[in-house]
Structure 1
Amino acid sequence: MMANYIYKDTILKVENVNLTLGDKVILEKVNAEVKDVTQTGAVRGQIVGFLGPSGIGKTKLFEIMAGLLKPTSGSVYYGKDKKPAHPGCAGVVQQNYPLFMHRTVLGNLEIGAAKNYKNTEERKAKIYDFLDRFKLRPYQDSYPAQLSGGQKQRVAIAQQLLCTDNFLLMDEPFSGLDINMVEEVSEMIVEIANMDEHNTIIIVSHDIVSTAAIADNLWLMGREKDKEGNPVSGAKIKYTFDLLERELAWREDIRKLPAFTKLINEIRDLFHDL
């Protein structure tokens, strides 16, 4: 049985977001929200899986949520105090893990921490805490070119968490990884989310199974169809799945459950109509 949980305040809201580039409508009336969820006897952050076919507009909405692209109309708000999305409002971990190649691991984290930690001693303590949390202490004096792909990813995540307030957007974190690395990255994402009740991670991915296995909510983006069955311009979040309500979140044995297999098949069937 699922442990007791309650939904509290809205901590991220996408409200009537529209995007037109040139004469092409990319996004139309996109609405979604993430609520702070608490579980009795545990610290739980939020993990949202954001799925959809290639070319549907996921990347553009990702950029809007990160404050890197201004929508034609509509808004994205963060936190209980409804701060508008702006550059730096959320950490962004892209597929190629863009790090400062001329700086060591320690140097990259120092850049990330400079924004939120002005006190030198506090900043130093936080950086070393993250080096330990992400198993990077042995590599603190190494440069990105000397690291494995998984190590670079951990540095990029730690850097972004240091420079933001609880929110992290991840673009295709499972892309190109073997099964062992997918499991390691999945465990790391869950651990990061659960570092703080307000930590919220949004994963944009094509990997339905890996994303659904760690998410507590899923957003599925697609387009409406006209009477002839042709896609209408402008994508939106057509389906949402509350995995807590379905008792398919916070479960280590999730992949073994028949209900999980049923969910994956349901999502795959919907993909044909997006």
Structure 2
Amino acid sequence: MNALEISQLSKTYVDSYSGEEVTAVGDVSFGVAEGEFVSVLGPSGCGKTTVLNIVAGFVRGTGGSVVVDGKPVERPGPDRGVVFQGHALFPWKTVLGNVVFGLRIRGVPRAERTARGLEFLDLVGLRGFEGKYPHELSGGMQQRLGVARVLANEPALMLMDEPFASIDAQTRRKLQEDLTAIVEQQHPTVFFVTHDVDEAVFLSDRIVVLSGRPSRVREIVEVALPRPRTWRTTVELPEFRATANRVNELLAGDEDHAHAVDASS
């Protein structure tokens, strides 16, 4: 059984300006196996983040179903942890306080949650900063803290919505390598939304390419790259560029189709 199973998912909403119904997600179906890293890409406005928000329980789908760890998704829950593009940290809590917040809510004893919090801060390279506050950290460090906070709660599914999009290129590459190291050590199940093809290829086991709105799955691309991965070595592999080229072809093909439809209408 997959950790995440999305079946014929759709989402329609009413445009607040025109009053017309808009179908953002048309018919999306795919699964994510336990311990698998799956990225979702597609044209701008295709509903990538909408799908993630439905899986997170923040938004209700119009049709279809989403099942996480064998249970239908009806609302947010501790079985799903979200790393947002914005850091979404508690500014009044210390670094350690942010990491252990979910554990405290769940009633984990202080000594145990402190030990687990420090373990995950060590994992993301923030040990020694546990007494600092979020505003005292760089953007990259804040995003590492967001990852540690989610991992500490040991969710069945880790949801990541373009978490590195607002970070400078050099820091982004470092965080991507850090994330692959965490994945190889902890084996979390990850649903990762991105618009960056190279990022998706570098991080993923599989890539789900969505069509333009109303979105459907155009193709699921396997990423046959060895782990561990570093940018210096992985990007030189012919399989890396071949995979990226295939994803770009799918995205370009969808864009060409959209232009053709616009021209004929």
State the Cα deviation string for residues 35-91 of structure 1 (Å, max 9, x = none): 23xxxxxxxx32111111111111111101111111012111112xx1222313311
Counterparts of 1:1-274 in structure 2 under 5 Å? 9-22=1-14, 23-36=21-34, 45-79=35-69, 82-85=70-73, 86-88=75-77, 89-116=79-106, 118-197=108-187, 199-223=188-212, 234-243=214-223, 247-250=224-227, 252=229, 253-274=233-254
Gaps (5+ residues) in structure 2? 15-20, 255-265
Contact 2:3/2:157, CA 8 A, preserved across alignment: no
Relative to structure 1, is the Cα distance of residues 10 and 189 closer, same or farther in structure 2, using a 3 angstrom cutoff? same
CA shift, 1:257, in A, is: 1.7
Amino acid at match of 2:235: R
The one-letter code sitting in structure 2 at the alignment partner of 1:58 is K
Percent identical residues: 31
Deviation, 1:174, is: 2.9
Please tell me the residue identity of whatever aligns with 1:33. G
Q: Secondary structure at the match of 1:103?
A: coil
1:51 touches 1:204 (CA, 8 Å); kept in 2? yes
In structure 2, the CA distance between the partners of 1:241 and 1:115, relative to structure 1 (3 Å rule), is farther
Q: What is the CA distance between 1:164 and its match in structure 2? A: 4.7
CA distance in 1, matches of 2:252, 2:205: 23
Gaps of at least 5 residues in structure 1 are 1-8, 37-44, 224-232
Counterparts of 2:142 and 2:22 in 1: how far apart (Å)?
A: 36
CA distance in 2, matches of 1:215, 1:186: 11
Question: When the two structures are superposed, what TM-score results if normalisation uses the length of structure 2?
Answer: 0.85
Q: Distance in 2 between matches of 1:134 and 1:174?
A: 15
Q: Size of the alignment, in residue pairs?
A: 243
- Taking only aligned residues, the RMSD between alpha carbons, in angstroms, comes to 1.8
CA distance in 1, matches of 2:238, 2:121: 39
Aligned mates of 1:63, 1:118 — CA distance in 2: 27
Task: Look up the SS of the partner of 2:37 in the other structure.
Answer: strand
8 Å CA contact 1:112, 1:163 repeated in 2: yes
* 2:128 alignment partner, SS class: helix
CA contact under 8 A between 2:221 and 2:247: conserved in structure 1? no
**Structure number having the greater strand percentage:** 1
Q: Using the alignment, how far apart are the partners of 1:72 and 1:163 within structure 2?
A: 30
Question: Structure 1 CA distance, aligned partners of 2:239 and 2:174?
Answer: 24
State the Cα deviation string for residues 78-125 of structure 1 (Å, max 9, x = none): 12xx12223133111111111111111121122132244523322122
